[in-house]
Structure 1
Amino acid sequence: MSDSPEQPPPAVPVDPLPADVPLQRYKLTIAYRGTNYHGWQTQYPTATYKGPKPPEGEGIPTIQEIVTRTLRTVVRHPLTLSGSSRTDAGVHAKGQVAHFTTDKVQIPILGMRRAVNARLPEDILVRSIEPVPINFDAVKWTLSKRYQYSIWNEEDRPVMFPDLAWHRWQKLDLDAIRYAASQLVGTHDFATFCRPGHGKLDTVRTVLACDVTYRKPRLVIGVEGTGFLWNMVRIIVGTLVEIGLGKYRADDVTKMLEAKDRRAAGGTAPPHGLYLQWIKFGDGPTRRGGDEDE
């Protein structure tokens, strides 16, 4: 979900494809550097938007908006692009997944991918395009997702890539961070670890893995789950860092979960250290497929 003000969803153009023409649904795996974009989801200008005015009927620079526009120039018809994860403004992706449907089945997949990438800006790349069943849904068929958070733990900041990692110069207790991370694995009520205003009646989620790797100076926290709440991974990371700094005890995580109160956990890590690493899919709709994300 983007930090930009939300707008009512615009009318989605219906693909004007004749019923007697063969249709094909395609699954796209997309990588992007989110620094220059207002998140994944298409958004339209508001009174507070300060960027360049987009063309009439088009949205501000988001990943979904830019990729959709580009695909339209290749297949030459309106289309709807649906993405699995609504990453926030400034968040990056190595393996975002989306789908769209077209009747342009005569376009070779390799040629389509090359044509799309040739038209995309250099900080967005379609890593693959593959045909999938016509009922495949990148949102509803999601089984699990993995996010990585990159922390540059050294005195000097990462001057060559300040937008790709969170700089924390203080010494961190890695054993405490690892122990605390292990306490988050499992099915819990993560109300403490989500941003207020999420609008979800059910805040119970399942974290399949929460691991910590360190190769000086880079500390990476990985979180895999079947679904996530708004800012959930960034709040987990912010809390783990504060545990590493000694502001909380490693065994305080259980109390935080039991509190079901955002004020019981640590701060929210900034978006620029977060990456959507990969997404796994099942053979049909899953219960958690429609969750909000980072």
Structure 2
Amino acid sequence: MIIVVIVLIIVVIVLFAHLFFIKNELKKLTRNLKSINNGKSINNLTISFFNKEIESLTEEINKNLEEKKQFEVDKIRFQNNFRKATSDISHDLRTPLTSIKGYIQFLKLGNLNESEKSEYINIIEERVKTLEILLNDFYELSLIDSVEYELKFDKVNLSRVVQEALLSKYAEFSVKKVEPKICIEDKNIFIIGDNCALGRIVDNLLSNAIKYFKSYIKISLTRENDCVIFKVINDTENLETADEERIFDRFYMADKTRSGKGTGLGLSIAKELALKMKGSINAELKDNALIICCKFKIFDI
């Protein structure tokens, strides 16, 4: 009987000791968690007393803390990008508006000959077209981002979409005095997608190449297993590795002065549309050439 009592006493002591350590561990966790929430600490929670339940609880809390840290990082990045985007939009809109205002003031002087008037009016019209492009890009991106935006999926002949886009760019190729090297492996490569969205993707990639090429442009549409790859390559002297990493970012332009007529939205819009059609798009800078690949799954009849 005495032995049983002693054993019970030992068990009770062990249980109380165990509860005591658990209580102290929970107090320490609570104290450290408060410190983290108050911004006084950035370290994850740790435990010094082994207990399976407490260890599991600590792991789950640490997961939430990591998600919170990542959320804060993403929030700061978004705020910085938003401020930069707002500044860029203001710059892009202000530049043609200032130019238009200046030429209107010249026209109001009244001492211009007909040739000068015609020249200034043509310049104003060009600046208005630039504004129209800017506003259309902004509007299109806002549409793509909206919850209500829906694509009309259907069987689309991507080969034909590329051919039509190339024909529409013939005048621009001629003006730039460049003859693109074109390779369309098959005239009937079908995918499931939105015809208009696909046309926009191809047009944006071609426009980017025409705008920034140095001496050549290569365009190809090829099969790779069960996928089709639309590839646009152009040599360039303005891009760096940092540009490669950010080339699909909204409002990003390799031309840091933003002196061109674009918004830096063309490739971003192309990527958003490709992703919405379960495709992929990526860029690589290799041997002073920008290589942009757009990939979709082939629809076999």
What TM-score comes out, normalization by structure 1 length? 0.21
Greater relative contact order (CA < 8 Å, ≥ 6 in sequence): 1
Considering fraction of residues, name the structure with more helix: 2
Which protein is bigger by CA-based radius of gyration?
2
What TM-score comes out, normalization by structure 2 length? 0.20
Considering fraction of residues, name the structure with more strand: 1
